[in-house]
Amino acid sequence: MSYTAKIGPSILNSDLACLGAECSRMLDCGADYLHLDVMDGHFVPNITFGPPVVECLRTQLGPQPFFDMHMMVSRPEQWVRPMAAAGASQYTFHLEATSNPGPLIKDIRESGMKVGLGIKPGTTVEELAPWAAQIDMALVMTVEPGFGGQKFMEDMMPKVNWLRTQFPSLDIEVDGGVGPDSIHKCAEAGANMIVSGSAIMKSADPRSVISLLRAACAEAIQKRSLDR
């Protein structure tokens, strides 16, 4: 098994007036990567930011931090090159947003980014399966995408479990309502990339929340490898 536990704070839950400083603070607190939510007001009923903000963050934070772009946009094809140019590390698009994932996956890879593929709660995991061998990460949404602060949907865990069973070395990310109360369910199901918004960003001690989430994942990964 080649996957490891990685914790990515969702920076949309931070104080957006000082985004660069908030990102630095998260990295200093032990974040493995930064999860950046891009919303276009079409695919989801909310608008966030685009490539110029990503470019500013990359300039300020340097080449090291891993930027996982969660592209909640209705035409993911059109933002691949601008995001690559801005300094994105991984381009995670939604299966529901395109009728032709194949060329899009190829385009993302050729732009020098890793490929993530996400599904909303209403989409079956079997619809993602044909593409699993071509991507770096599968994202299982544990809330309806578009707004922070929603309640974690435990009934998404069978999707995570199915993916982990079918694709043992795939990075599997969960996003939505994930924090200390729900991490064990995510970790036991087989998620190894954990997006957490308010639970980390609004905490008085983000470092301890990040290490708690990572420890729960690492423990589940170790148990899984012993059980095999």
End-to-end Cα distance, the chain: 10
Quote the CA–CA distance of 49 and 51 in Å, as a whole number.
7
Quote the CA–CA distance of 125 and 109 in Å, as a whole number.
22
* Length of the chain as a residue count: 228
Whether the Cβ atoms of residue 76 and residue 93 lie closer than 8 Å to each other? yes
Quote the CA–CA distance of 95 and 128 in Å, as a whole number.
7
Whether the Cβ atoms of residue 57 and residue 33 lie closer than 8 Å to each other? no
Any idea what DSSP says for residue 168? T
Residues β-bridged to residue 118: 94, 139
Q: Which residues are catalytic?
A: 37, 175
